[in-house]
Each structure stands twice: as C-alpha cells, then as structure tokens.
Homo-oligomer: A and B are copies of this chain.
C-alpha cells in the first residue's frame, strides 16, 4: 500500500481519548486535551476521524459497549452466571482511587448529555438498557433452575441492579474506600438470593 505510514492508529487514538473523555466528560474535553493525550496533531486527528471530536467520543463509547459484550459472552458460558455478576460488583470495591472517581463512562454520559446531544444520550441509555437486560436474563435463568429464593420479578431485579450500578458509581466518588464499598455492595447483592 502506498502513502506515508500511519503512526497514530485509530484504535490507539480512541483508547487514549477514551481515558480523557471518561475523566472529563464530552463538553469539558477540548481538542487540545485529546491531542496532548494521543500525541496526534490536528492533521492526523482529522485525517483519521472526519467526524472530529464527536466521532471519537462515539468510538470511545462503542469500545466500552464491546467490553460489556465481552462480559456478556463470559456470562453465557458461565456455570454460575449470577455469581459472576455478583463478583463483578464485588470487584468494584477494590479498584484504585482514580477508577472510583472516574465512575462509569456510560452512566456519566447519560447524566451529562441529556440536554446537550440527543444521539449521544440515547446511545448511552441504550447501552445501559442492554446491560440491564443482561442482568434480567441471568436472573430469569437462575430462577428457572430454582436457584432463587426471592419471589420478586426478574425484570424488577434487573432494574434494581442497573439502578445500583448507576448509584454505586456516585457512591464510590463519595467514598473511594474499599471497606465502605465492600459493605454496601454485599448488602445490596443480598437482595438477589
């Protein structure tokens, strides 16, 4: 193939841009921030992403969706899917401080973009609903196997978990503390049993 070789690959730019967006959100992240973080100048940046800042943000969100999809696949292979979900929540407690403060980029986007960008907002909401659906399905399956004592509708329990997820991502900014979070997570997961 002809042409000057690519130094700043798409995937690498998205990865580094994601970190900045995750911390600062969409509006507060400037092109200058992204150029510093990725190393790419304006030339490379707009050559790679004709859609500019917004396209990179969408790609960063999309990458996060893929991470959730990976988990979904693991879940479908798991022998104890509900334990896998619970362990996912439990693992949050022992994150590093910076991870606590960052929260969830999808939940952050829902909060930030509601009155700013309809598409970005709707997309983030959609992803949260997919995660919720994943929770709900796992709970349904477990219930069919007779592994659940609770009589609560799996749909309600799925929404309970996505609500917890969003709440937890604010709680960990209030208390970026392993012990506090561990206690809260165990208490909330006890509802699903």
Residues of A that sit less than 8 Å from B by CB: 23-25, 27-28, 101-103, 107-108, 110-112, 114-116, 125, 128-129, 132, 152, 156, 159-160, 162-171, 173-175, 180, 183-184, 187-188, 191
Q: Are B27's CB and A110's CB within 8 A?
A: no
Min CB–CB distance A161 → chain B (angstroms)? 10
Copies in the complex: 2
What would 30 A/B residue contacts be, using CB atoms closer than 8 Å?
A23-B114, A24-B115, A24-B116, A25-B116, A27-B27, A28-B112, A101-B115, A107-B111, A108-B111, A110-B173, A111-B111, A111-B112, A111-B170, A114-B173, A125-B173, A125-B174, A128-B170, A132-B174, A156-B184, A156-B187, A159-B171, A159-B175, A159-B180, A159-B184, A160-B188, A163-B184, A166-B166, A166-B169, A167-B167, A167-B168
**Residues of B close to A25: CB separation below 8 A:** 27, 112, 116
How far, in angstroms, from A108 to B125 measured CA to CA in the complex? 16
Q: Are A163's CB and B173's CB within 8 A?
A: no
> Max chain B CB contacts within 10 Å: which of A27, A170, A171, A188?
A170
How far, in angstroms, from A175 to B162 measured CA to CA in the complex? 12
How far, in angstroms, from A38 to B128 measured CA to CA in the complex? 35
Closest 10 pairs between A and B when the two form their complex, measured CB to CB: A167-B167, A166-B170, A163-B167, A23-B115, A27-B28, A166-B167, A27-B27, A111-B111, A163-B171, A101-B114
